[in-house]
């Protein structure tokens, strides 16, 4: 566990240790209530073709949907799968437990809600060797199987939805602020102290901040692609973004200006909505205040523009797969849900801290079965 302050100035530029391509890879995966997704995630991971030995360490949280039983069955089918317990269900705690139980010099983080594309691991190892970076990541390519999930996936892949981070659709290789999932050298991880177990969301951003502060590069390679499956229901998406936003607010409390400016757009939207609602309510009850009507219109104008933007985006949205009127209708709800839930969480976390906030979308009942 880490709770010490980050070092001050960035260390001189350093190269990560060189590791032979056939030295072996340890995949690490935290798992909680992922019964519909786990088998495909495991199969896409173990199907990766690399020259050295491979192991997959699953950190099992207290699932209630049969995930643990499925994980044990998968481990019996393939001796490369190792199981460790993560009773607290915290992602960084599970990741650290899996890393400590693993044996190989390169660590590849994988997610039970995602699937690696063929050649992912081989390309990542080549990129690590070529760049000598401390961490390498690629594109999180969201996809969906239902109209709602496809709408959420479109928002994930669009700058309008998640702000245009490199791993949400970037095309230019180079140094990055953070990396999705991450392909890391064990020596670098151990040097910076593994994941901070006091952070339940945003732990990858914080880890990459320490990696960069230690002088290592964090590298984005758009040739690396991971398929990510968003939450299947509107309520779960709202819960996920509320918790994620609150932890981003906590990271703002801890690290201030080291957070990118893009993180402040959703909380600004929430503040604008609140001020417009208060101003409009005062006007409706007849509170005598000079300039109140003008203030109300001034506050509502950007919200009308925002609503028009969301509507225009939903109407004009295009996707490679099925994307009809149902997906567009859901997109009208998905985009404001992402922005307002995340922004509300950010403001709460910035003012009060995240404390023990958890992502309840991973705890509530059973997931929707996959076709």
- Specify the residue for token string 């009942």: 365
Residue positions counted in the chain: 371
pLDDT at 273: 96
Residue 225 Cα to chain centre, angstroms:
14
pLDDT at 164: 59
The angle at the Cα of 245, spanning 158 to 8, to the nearest 5 degrees, equals: 100
pLDDT tens string, the chain, 371 residues long: the values are 344 444 445 677 889 989 998 999 999 999 999 999 999 999 999 999 999 999 999 999 999 999 999 999 999 999 999 999 999 888 999 999 999 999 999 999 999 988 999 999 999 999 999 999 999 999 999 999 999 999 999 999 888 887 655 555 667 899 998 888 999 999 999 999 999 999 988 899 999 999 999 999 999 999 998 999 999 999 999 999 999 999 999 999 998 877 777 889 999 999 999 999 999 898 888 777 778 888 888 999 999 999 999 999 999 998 887 899 999 999 999 999 999 999 999 999 999 999 888 887 776 544 444 44
Token pair of 194, please? 């593994």
- Answer yes or no: are the C-beta atoms of 105 and 23 closer than 8 Å: yes
Give the residues across from 175 on adjacent strands.
219
Can you read off the two tokens belonging to residue 169? 């659709």
Distance CA 207, CA 192 (A): 8
Domain boundaries, the chain: 25-230, 255-362
Partner residues linked to 83 by β-bridges: 58
Residue 276: its pLDDT value, please?
Answer: 93
Do 224 and 137 touch, CB atoms closer than 8 A? yes
H helix and E strand count, the chain: 12, 9
Are 357 and 135 in contact by the 8 Å Cβ rule? The answer is no
Contacts of residue 103, defined as CB under 8 A and 6 or more positions apart, other chains included, come to: 24, 26, 55
The answer to whether domain 25-230 has CATH 3.90.550.10 is yes
pLDDT of residue 168: 58
CA atoms within 13 A on the CB side of 47: 12
Identify whether the C-beta of residue 198 lies closer than 8 Å to the C-beta of residue 188.
no
């Amino acid at each position: 566990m880490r709770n010490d302050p980050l070092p001050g100035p960035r260390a001189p530029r350093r190269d990560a240790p060189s590791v032979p391509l056939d030295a072996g890879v340890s995949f690490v995966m935290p798992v909680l209530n992922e019964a519909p997704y786990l088998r495909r995630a495991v199969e896409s991971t173990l199907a990766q073709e690399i020259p050295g030995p491979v192991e997959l360490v699953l950190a099992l949280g207290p699932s209630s949907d049969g995930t643990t039983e499925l994980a044990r069955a998968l481990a019996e089918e393939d001796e490369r799968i190792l199981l460790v317990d993560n009773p607290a269900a915290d992602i960084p705690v599970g990741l650290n437990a899996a890393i400590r139980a693993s044996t190989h010099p390169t660590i590849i983080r994988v997610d039970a809600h995602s699937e690696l594309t063929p050649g992912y691991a081989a390309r990542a190892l080549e990129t690590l060797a070529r760049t000598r970076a401390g961490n390498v990541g690629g594109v999180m390519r969201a996809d969906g199987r239902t109209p709602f999930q496809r709408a959420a996936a479109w928002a994930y892949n669009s700058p309008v939805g998640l702000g245009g981070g490199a791993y949400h659709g970037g095309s230019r290789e180079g140094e990055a602020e953070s990396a999705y999932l991450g392909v890391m050298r064990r020596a670098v991880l151990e040097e910076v102290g593994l994941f901070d177990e006091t952070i339940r969301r945003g732990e990858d951003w914080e880890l990459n901040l320490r990696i960069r502060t230690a002088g290592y590069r964090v590298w984005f390679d758009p040739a690396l692609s991971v398929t990510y499956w968003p939450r299947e229901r509107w309520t779960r998406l709202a819960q996920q973004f509320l918790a994620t936003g609150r932890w981003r607010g906590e990271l703002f409390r801890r690290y201030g200006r080291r957070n990118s400016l893009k993180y402040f757009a959703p909380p600004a939207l929430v503040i604008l909505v609140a001020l417009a609602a208060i101003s409009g309510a005062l006007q409706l009850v007849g509170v005598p205040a000079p300039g109140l009507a003008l203030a109300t219109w001034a506050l509502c104008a950007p919200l009308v523009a925002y609503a028009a933007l969301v509507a225009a985006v939903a109407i004009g949205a295009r996707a490679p797969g099925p994307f009809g009127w149902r997906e567009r209708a859901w997109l009208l709800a998905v985009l404001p849900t992402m922005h307002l839930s995340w922004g509300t969480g950010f403001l709460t976390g910035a003012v009060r801290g995240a404390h023990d906030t958890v992502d309840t979308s991973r705890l509530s009942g059973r997931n929707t079965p996959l076709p």
